[in-house]
Amino acid sequence: MAFDQSTRNRLQRFVNDARKVLQEEFIRQLQNDYGLDPISGSITGLENLRHLNDAQRETARILRDTLSHYCASGDMDGKQALDRIVREQAFTVLNRLAALRMAEARGLLVDKEVKRIKTKVHGTTCRIK
């Protein structure tokens, strides 16, 4: 089914707005929870993140490993690498939500699954895992 130009424009605006909201949420989490600041490029040492539980500490370690991997080539600095992490996470979450919605619209998910997924997604849509 082809969309007319007006529908494509509305869809593009929605996707851009949704991506922006997700990126803002990921930036907030990186700054407040994981000691990574995509705005300034600063990185707090893992040992200074005493407020994290074991699962969050593992996420913080994985984020730092990813950051190191992106910076290893020398093509980007910490700030650029953090920006890439934010963009990739937002892209992934948005695509997963779109896929769930399309599966729901096509009747591929039973009501019980839809309710369980929506409940989980509503509470943790933007949690970096």
φ/ψ (deg, to 5) at 44: -85, 140
Q: What are phi and psi of 43, to 5 degrees?
A: -130, 120
pTM score, two decimals? 0.78
The torsion angle over the Cα atoms of residues 27, 30, 36 and 40, rounded to 10 degrees, is 20
Average pLDDT of the segment spanning 88-92:
94
- Res. 1: pLDDT tops 80: no
> Confidence class of residue 121 from pLDDT cuts 50, 70 and 90?
low
Each residue of 49-81: pLDDT tens digit?
Answer: 999 999 999 999 999 999 999 999 899 999 999
Rg (Cα) of the chain, in Å, rounded? Answer: 17
